Amino acid sequence: MAAYFWVTGGTGNWNSASNWALTSGGVGGVAVPGSGDTAAIDANSGSGTVTLDISPTIQTLTCTGFTGTLAFGTNTITLNSTGNLFIGATTMSISGTPLIILNNATTTATRTINAGAVTEANSISFNITAGSGTAIITVTGGGAVRDLNFTGYTGSHNATSYTMYGSLTLGTGMTVTAGSTTTFAATSGTKTITTNAVVIDKSLTFNGVGGTWQLQDALTSGATRTTTLTNGTLNLNGYTLTTGLFSSNNSNTRTLAFGTSKIVLNGTSGTIFTTSTATGLTVTGTAPLIQATAGGAGTRTINLGAAGEANAISLDVTAGSDIVSLSTTSGAYKNVNFTGFTGTVSIQNSIAVFGNWNYGGTTTQGTGTGTVTFSATSGTKTITSNAFSFPSNVNFNGIGGTFACQDALSVTSTLTITNGTLQLKSGTTNTVGSFTTVGTNQKFLQATTNGSQATLSQASGTVSASYLTIKDSAATGGATFNAFTSNANVNAGNNTGWKFGSANSAGGFLQFF
């Protein structure tokens, strides 16, 4: 095995012996490095262009200190040794379609890629086509690569932090060791992530202005790892992203594209999902869903920012007997479902819900005092309480929306109808701290079954409804229920306990029967 060095001032073709010497800065003309040799293009090689006119196979390639250009064209470099296979230089430029192939079939050795913290334009793709057993591929900390393709490799990939500007393909049967972060940073085009069922037990950050990353199959990271969307588009493409925690808490332009998929959260404590700063975030897909699957001994917090109906995300909490805290900042949710959860729900701040609500197996009321506002503007949304009370205020405020209770509704504080239609479950008694209406739009209080009353119960005080059409409602509990027609209320039939008619100038009313 010999060591070859690109000669001083060298602009020329790889496959020319005149460009290679046996010492750094030496005299060229010895030979072209072959499969048993190492090659170096270093600080003594000048600032010219090294053009790959062939696809050479060598042992290793070192470019430390090189300030010129390595021009791949459509050719590739194959490195067939172990150890430090490629040492790049942040001072050099890359052109063409750069690809380096690592083909050593080692079962034990470590092969290291030290590409350096290069720019996107100067990044190089690597194909690792062989290796198994306890073999390790390392991309050293702080380095940057373009594509990484492990097809044919079944060894281990270690957990140092690095940046990727291209696509990632993991080999079937390989492993990724725990720890550290991979940052996907492409700024244009669509890059793909193919895991082949390999778990990436690392934190993943997507941070490329203008870049898109599209899953080709399910992506799973560790239960303690965070997936972060900072810039660009993360397209789940119908596949499930399973991670410990998810964060997209900034005001950058970014898109979370669910398609028909979901994000599964395995984190057991802390803030397991946050988009609390939703400025610049677009959510797409037929049914965007986050699913919290594993309870712990502490508190799991979900912070969905005030994103509006179009960008609302559904939440399923499917397990645990711990505390789930919703929104330490004002947030927007689509469907909220606690089926399978038997712990404590705490609503810390006001939230808007644009879909269905199901308290599931929730057993304890938390300390949060946030208002829940049902805000859908079309269709019929369902509310299932499962004998659990909303701990604070509830507001129905969706022009064109219908909100149908599936069982008795209980609201500890104030139930407000601002817009839309509230349907209380026929045959049930629904209790509130107080009942009120707001605004001059006509709104509707009904029962779910036409002609079959639902009971609204308030223990004391006076209800003064306005712009409310009431049907199939029994008002009871001790409070006085005023729904004077002079306040634009409408008696639509089959009501008891309500005072309709017109208030007189002395503060009384004229009651019509």
pLDDT for residue 108 is more than 70: yes
pLDDT for residue 508 is more than 70: no
SS3 for 114?
strand
pLDDT for residue 506 is more than 80: no
- 217, 398, 237: which is closest to 312 by C-alpha? 398
Q: What is the pTM for the complete model shown? A: 0.93
Over residues 52-70, the mean pLDDT reads 97
Domain ranges of the chain: 244-365, 371-513
pLDDT for residue 339 is more than 90: yes
pLDDT for the residue 96: 98
pLDDT for residue 192 is more than 90: yes
Q: Would you state the structure tokens that stand for residue 36, as one six-digit string?
A: 């048993």
pLDDT tens for each residue of 321-331: 999 999 877 88
DSSP label of 221: B
pLDDT for residue 510 is more than 70: no
Cα angle: 284, vertex 287, 288; to 5 degrees: 60
User: What phi and psi, each to the nearest 5 degrees, are found at residue 283?
Assistant: -115, 130
Comparing 364 with 406, the larger pLDDT belongs to 406
Distance CA 366, CA 505 (A): 46
pLDDT for residue 204 is more than 90: yes
pLDDT for the residue 165: 98
Distance CA 116, CA 88 (A): 6
pLDDT tens for each residue of 212-245: 999 999 999 999 999 999 999 999 999 999 999 9
pLDDT for residue 361 is more than 90: no
Residue % of the chain over a pLDDT of 90: 88
pLDDT tens for each residue of 481-504: 999 999 999 999 999 999 999 875
pLDDT for residue 303 is more than 80: yes
Over residues 81-95, the mean pLDDT reads 96
pLDDT tens for each residue of 260-288: 999 999 999 999 999 989 899 999 998 89
